[in-house]
Amino acid sequence: MAWRKASLEFTTFGHNGGHELGQDDLAAATSWVSRWRAGAASDTLSADSNTITMESASDTNGVRSSGNSASTSLWRPLRSPTFRNLLIANVVSDIGTFMQNVGAAWLMVSLNAGPMYVALTQTASALPFFVLALPAGAIGDMVDRRKLILYAEVWMVTVAAILATFTIGGFTSPLLLLILTFALAAGDAFESPTWRAVLPELVEKEDLAAASALNGIEFNFARAVGPALAGAVVLLAGVGTAFLINTVSFAGVLFVVARWKRSAVKRATPPETVAGATRAAIRYVRYSPEIRILLARSGMVMFFASGLLALLPSIARSISGSSVSYGLLLGAFGCGAVLGALLLQRVRYRFRADVLISSGIALFGLSSIAAGLLREIWSLAPVMLVAGASWVSFLSMFNVQLLNRAPDWVRARVLAVSLLVFQGAVAGGSAVWGVIALRAGIRQALLWAGVGAILSAASALFLRVSDVGPDLTPWNHWRLPPFRADLDRSVLVTVEYDVAPGRESEFLEAMREYGRVRLRDGASRWGISRDLEASDRYLETFIVPSWDEHMRQHDRLTRADSELEHRLRSYTRLEPIARHLLYL
């Protein structure tokens, strides 16, 4: 779910040269600022000196992803008390966030800030995600996630309280607003990967898709209610009151997180450093083909999908020049997202995940094209209803697919990489479609954005992922030799295989796949060689930066990797022999 306070985001549309702004200007700020947001092998050792026995895990069965699991109700995740309480608390929290966004936009306009400050507010909102997301994901996999979330929430409520106090007291300046915008966004960016990573801890694996859909419903409901409520509050009681309400809205989330009795995660391996954990995240994504495919597809889709919602304010202005039109279209989009989440639960067990994702993307592309052609509010509202439904369907499925392929030790980091891809695609796409709309017109921009989205849906034909998620249960079954090596030295591991005659090609094919597992879990280099004097003897070699990292490499094995080891064992005649050598 959208378990995080969104950073201050606001878009201004000009100022009045120092005159006091009226009700129409406030209504415009209320609606135009409601920007959309998106709510993702062990080396063969034994206890004795250097021989091992490869065992097949006959009891290991791949866990099917939620796309093919037994049907589950949309509301079943609510049986989890922590999930249910967080969902309720976040409805209030996200409404407060959208009120904060509207109030900040109104305040910046009221302060007669120059164009530089207006432009820098967007930078202050987005920059923390690019700077902090990956290190934050690394830290989220290293420490107690509950405490990290709690500390980040305390940081953000403190910043929100400072902003409310200064605004009520009349001390806020454009520079101070910019600084506090950055501070609030920094807290949001720091906790976002961890928030997303804890979802599998709160619900069963087969309920992930339903939980993700409920997240979409909650966020879109807040997006529909928050700006409208903010407009009324700012008009009747002032910007400071809106900021104060946002500050109070943190209370529910803080209370639930503080009372959450999260099970302690015990690891036998040495703790990682932030730099090492960050490198491990990049390495894991690099050597995980299905995760790379999901990230590539989501980035491609978001680049084209960003066109419609980025240009929606311009569409609304061209219709009537009133902020009411934009509010209606945004409300239709939010209602569509809610309906889409409900519909997704009914159809996601009947079709492959790729089919649902591609269908949602194609429908969104058609909606973009239609939005560029239609010029009446009564015809655009149904289009936005379809767009909202398709939007939540493909985003929800992308998120579940990613969660099902990221083991717990690296989950927050993988989601941080996903966040970077998402933010980059949205930022780049919005800028590109804005430039195209400026030069060729809104209709042409939406036409090409829609066509691009439809074409990106066809990427499923050659960028496919399995509906069956891997079993990510830890499988550290090999004991390390009884010594502790120098932590600052690289370790060379060699494994000697005696391959059965006629099975060489099959062995090499499986071994290259096994090499990807080695590199994914910690090796910096990997290779396979054949003995020139004994053609049936092969030597696998790989280098690990330190002995501690090699210990972690063992701990990162999963049940899914056991199937590959079993295949390798079927191609050999004798037990493989592993050796560990320390670089001097």
C-alpha distance from residue 252 to each of 83, 221, 256, 271, 284 (Å) = 13, 17, 6, 33, 36
How high is the mean pLDDT of the chain?
80
- Report d(CA 186, CA 60) in Å as an integer: 42
- Dump pLDDT digits (tens) for 96-118: 988 887 777 678 767 876 656 65
**pLDDT value of residue 237:** 87
Segment 407-426 shows an average pLDDT of: 87
Short-list 109, 132, 135, 102, CA closest to 35: 102
pLDDT cut 90: percent of the chain above it: 28
**pLDDT value of residue 442:** 87
When pLDDT is cut at 50, 70 and 90, the band that residue 312 belongs to is confident
What are the structure tokens assigned to 25, written together? 């200007």
Best mean pLDDT range from 12-26, 151-165, 412-426, 459-473: 151-165
Q: Is the pLDDT reported for residue 41 higher than 60?
A: no
Determine the residue type at 361: I
Segment 252-267 shows an average pLDDT of: 84
Separation of CA 88 from chain center: 21
Q: Is the pLDDT reported for residue 268 higher than 80?
A: no
Instruction: Return all residues near 471 (Cβ < 8 A) that are at least 6 apart.
Output: 60, 61, 62, 63, 558, 559, 560
- Report d(CA 374, CA 522) in Å as an integer: 54
Short-list 464, 417, 459, 456, CA closest to 290: 464
Sheet strand arrangement including 537-544: 525-530, 537-544, 491-498, 577-582
When pLDDT is cut at 50, 70 and 90, the band that residue 515 belongs to is very high
The residue among 472 and 292 whose pLDDT is bigger is 292
Segment 29-35 shows an average pLDDT of: 39
Which residue do the tokens 């930022």 mark? 427
**pLDDT value of residue 487:** 63
- Report d(CA 219, CA 208) in Å as an integer: 16
Short-list 403, 488, 482, 472, CA closest to 60: 472
Instruction: Return all residues near 310 (Cβ < 8 A) that are at least 6 apart.
Output: 429, 430, 433, 434
> Any idea which fold 23-461 has?
Growth Hormone; Chain: A; (1.20.1250)
- Dump pLDDT digits (tens) for 290-304: 999 999 999 999 999
- Report d(CA 420, CA 404) in Å as an integer: 19
Task: Map out the domains of the chain as residue ranges.
Answer: 23-461, 491-582
Short-list 343, 429, 443, CA closest to 394: 343
Q: Is the pLDDT reported for residue 188 higher than 60?
A: yes
* CA-based R_g, the chain, Å: 26
- Report d(CA 372, CA 397) in Å as an integer: 27
- Dump pLDDT digits (tens) for 222-235: 877 887 788 788 88
The residue among 323 and 341 whose pLDDT is bigger is 341
Segment 138-147 shows an average pLDDT of: 88
Q: Is the pLDDT reported for residue 514 higher than 80?
A: yes
Ranges assigned E (strand) in 435-561? 491-498, 525-530, 537-544
Segment 555-570 shows an average pLDDT of: 88
Q: Is the pLDDT reported for residue 165 higher than 90?
A: yes
> Any idea which fold 491-582 has?
Alpha-Beta Plaits (3.30.70)
Q: Is the pLDDT reported for residue 481 higher than 50?
A: yes
**pLDDT value of residue 121:** 65
Q: Is the pLDDT reported for residue 70 higher than 60?
A: no
158-160-165 Cα angle (round to 5)? 95
The residue among 140 and 5 whose pLDDT is bigger is 140
pLDDT cut 70: percent of the chain above it: 82
- Report d(CA 91, CA 223) in Å as an integer: 10
Separation of CA 544 from chain center: 29
Short-list 135, 121, 243, CA closest to 182: 121
**pLDDT value of residue 89:** 92
The residue among 133 and 89 whose pLDDT is bigger is 89
Q: Is the pLDDT reported for residue 24 higher than 80?
A: no
When pLDDT is cut at 50, 70 and 90, the band that residue 283 belongs to is very high
- The DSSP string of 364-377 is HHHHHHHHHH---H
Short-list 385, 391, 386, 394, CA closest to 358: 394
The 10 Å CB-count burial string (b at 16+, else e) for 555-580 is: bbbbbbbbbbbbbbbebbeebbbbbb
Pick the range with the lowest mean pLDDT from 9-23, 195-209, 231-245, 304-318: 9-23
Segment 332-345 shows an average pLDDT of: 82
Segment 445-455 shows an average pLDDT of: 94
What is the helix, strand, coil percentage profile of the chain, to 5?
65, 5, 30
Pick the range with the lowest mean pLDDT from 205-219, 232-246, 319-333, 555-569: 319-333
**pLDDT value of residue 210:** 81
- Report d(CA 533, CA 413) in Å as an integer: 45
What are the structure tokens assigned to 512, written together? 């290259």
**pLDDT value of residue 57:** 32
What is the dihedral angle through the alpha carbons of 449, 388, 313, 326, rounded to the nearest 10 degrees?
Answer: 150
Instruction: Return all residues near 390 (Cβ < 8 A) that are at least 6 apart.
Output: 336, 340, 359, 360, 361, 363, 364, 367
Separation of CA 168 from chain center: 36
Instruction: Return all residues near 52 (Cβ < 8 A) that are at least 6 apart.
Output: 44, 45, 46, 478, 575, 576, 577, 578
- Counting DSSP H helices and E strands in the chain, the numbers are 18, 4
Phi and psi torsions of 478, nearest 5°: -105, 130
Pick the range with the lowest mean pLDDT from 121-135, 273-287, 367-381, 510-524: 121-135
Segment 30-34 shows an average pLDDT of: 39
Phi and psi torsions of 497, nearest 5°: -120, 140
Q: Write down the pTM of the prediction.
A: 0.74
Which residue do the tokens 């809104």 mark? 442
Q: Is the pLDDT reported for residue 136 higher than 50?
A: yes
Which residue do the tokens 């695609």 mark? 425
